[in-house]
Amino acid sequence: MKRPNSSKYRNLYVPADRTTIWYARVDGGRRIRQNTKSSPDTLDGWKEAALFRDKYEERKGIGRVRIDYGRVPTFADLVPRYFESQKFGQLAVTTQYDHRSQLADDGPVVPMLGRYRIDEITVDVLVEWWEKQARERAWTVTTGERYLTAIAQVLKVGRRYLDGRALPTVEARERIGEQKRTAAGRAVASAERRPIRDPEAIDALLASARDRGAEVYAFVLTLLDAGLRKGEARALRWRAIAWGADAEDTRRHVLVRGSRSRGADEDGHTKSGRSRTVALSRRLRGALEDLYLEQRPTTLDALTFPSLDESELRRTWPMLLSAASLPGLMWKDLRDTYGSWLLTLGIPIQYVSRQLGHSSIGITEKHYAEYLGRGGDGSQYVEPPKLERGEVPADLLARVGDCSQDAHTVDPYTLPDSLQASESASEFSDAVVQKISCSSVRNTAEWAKSMNSASSS
């Protein structure tokens, strides 16, 4: 079927060597040619091609009247304007700090992208930048995506110079993110969480913290037994602690309402922007009780950990790890220890997700999938340990060494003794052969000798 005689089907044609409808036009000195993949044999095919053309032109800003805004700024020109924008001022303090660091003049972005006009920054330019940084700085995909977020915010400041084109960071993120779907990418993602899996190591860390004083000990337990983020613990105030009538009252909890970001002297929002209630374990309640008696705060609005600012935490943490012989741990690993152990012990993921403050169960499953059931595939049902009177799930972390769910260590595919034992000589002979072969028979003579012994019996 020939192209219908109507302006509705402008810029559409069928090349001589093709069997589908193509779209072609010149825009701004650029020749554009796209395969609509629609059949020219029917009118519906031409209508589909016209719809493809319209959506493509709208997405790319083709055919729009261009306004001359003057000289197109470079990426480096727009960075200061981004820092002065209202959008930047509305970001969390930690995000502002990160973006200033990522977009610093001597950082990994501006020296390479700063010279480009923003209309020259294409997907290929961004991917080339990423590959260079990943090669030289050993970046993970997640790190690259964080930097792309900052780059995108700068490009949005000069969006009018892009003539309606989509931000190149969108497609660049997709191309970079493809590495996450490889085996190596999944391995890197799983390595980002390093919970403490040895109960004795947990005890060693707590002993080290206890030696540093009541405030440090209670702070470590707040992350370990309640799963608070470091900034949330720093913003905790005495008024947010519900003690309960006594240590047996399961209504005891901590109300998490804010977070004190890196280097900040004021409280901000939590990461999710919402408050949450976190159950208070007995040992955390006891540690906070001792700290309260030591501090004797004049008001319940006082900070629970007033002396543990960011610099003090940076100084204290290496000392704790050195005394406990646990090199390489980070503060956030205590929160991961809390979440991973509760899931390993069979506590429902819905409960754990709420305690961690995740916006959805999907986020919890994504980050802690390997701790669901045994082996992370959920193929084995794990029954939670029975809580004692007055306990909440967080109390299980104090006795993880006594909560073993499975004492079996033998390969489950190994034949059990009942199947290996046989009464007939032939079966006994087969058993001997298998036993010797599994222990790597040294020579044929030894094998023959064992066969003769089996036959005579």
Q: What is the pTM of this model?
A: 0.62
285 and 181 within one domain: no
| Token pair 């955390």 in the structure block, residue | 284
160 and 51 within one domain: no
The DSSP secondary-structure symbol of 390 reads T
Q: How far apart are CA 220 and CA 126, in angstroms?
A: 41
Give the distance, in angstroms, between the CA of residue 187 and the centroid of all CA atoms in the same chain. 12
* Nearest of 381, 307, 382 to residue 341 by alpha carbon: 382
172 φ, ψ to 5°? Answer: -60, -40
Which residues form the domain of 164? 75-191
Residue 381 pLDDT: 77
137 φ, ψ to 5°? Answer: -110, 0
| 414 located within any domain | no
265 and 147 within one domain: no
Q: How far apart are CA 258 and CA 358, in angstroms?
A: 15
| 70 located within any domain | no
Q: How far apart are CA 429 and CA 320, in angstroms?
A: 59
279 and 205 within one domain: yes
Residue 94 pLDDT: 78
Looking only at the bridges linking them, the beta strands covering 30-38 and 253-256 are: unpaired
Q: How far apart are CA 372 and CA 359, in angstroms?
A: 19
243 and 138 within one domain: no
* Nearest of 230, 216, 293 to residue 263 by alpha carbon: 230
223 and 173 within one domain: no
Q: How far apart are CA 352 and CA 338, in angstroms?
A: 9
Q: How far apart are CA 315 and CA 232, in angstroms?
A: 19
228 and 184 within one domain: no
| 142 located within any domain | yes
Q: How far apart are CA 99 and CA 92, in angstroms?
A: 11
| 410 located within any domain | no
Residue 97 pLDDT: 86
Maximum Cα interatomic distance, the chain, rounded to a whole number of Å: 102
171 and 314 within one domain: no
| 270 located within any domain | yes
Residue 423 pLDDT: 47
Question: Helices in 123-182 by DSSP H: which ranges?
Answer: 123-137, 141-157, 168-177
Vertex 76 angle, CA 74 and 81, to 5°: 100
CATH code of the domain containing 367: 1.10.443.10
Number of domains composing the chain: 4
Residue 184 pLDDT: 57
pLDDT in 10s for each residue of the chain, 457 residues: 889 988 889 999 999 888 999 999 987 667 899 999 999 999 999 999 999 998 888 877 777 655 556 789 999 999 999 999 999 988 877 788 889 999 999 999 999 999 999 999 999 999 999 999 989 988 888 889 999 999 999 999 999 888 778 899 999 999 988 876 665 555 555 556 789 999 999 999 999 999 999 999 999 999 999 999 999 999 999 999 999 999 999 999 999 999 987 766 778 888 888 899 999 999 999 999 999 999 999 999 999 999 999 899 999 999 999 999 999 899 999 999 999 999 999 999 999 999 999 989 999 988 888 888 655 555 677 788 899 999 999 999 998 876 655 545 567 777 777 787 654 444 544 544 444 344 443 444 453 444 455 445 4
124 and 11 within one domain: no
Residue 129 near residue 172, CB atoms below 8 Å: no
Q: How far apart are CA 207 and CA 376, in angstroms?
A: 31
290 and 339 within one domain: yes
217 and 329 within one domain: yes
Q: How far apart are CA 378 and CA 385, in angstroms?
A: 17
Who contacts 375 (Cβ-Cβ below 8 Å, separation ≥6)? none
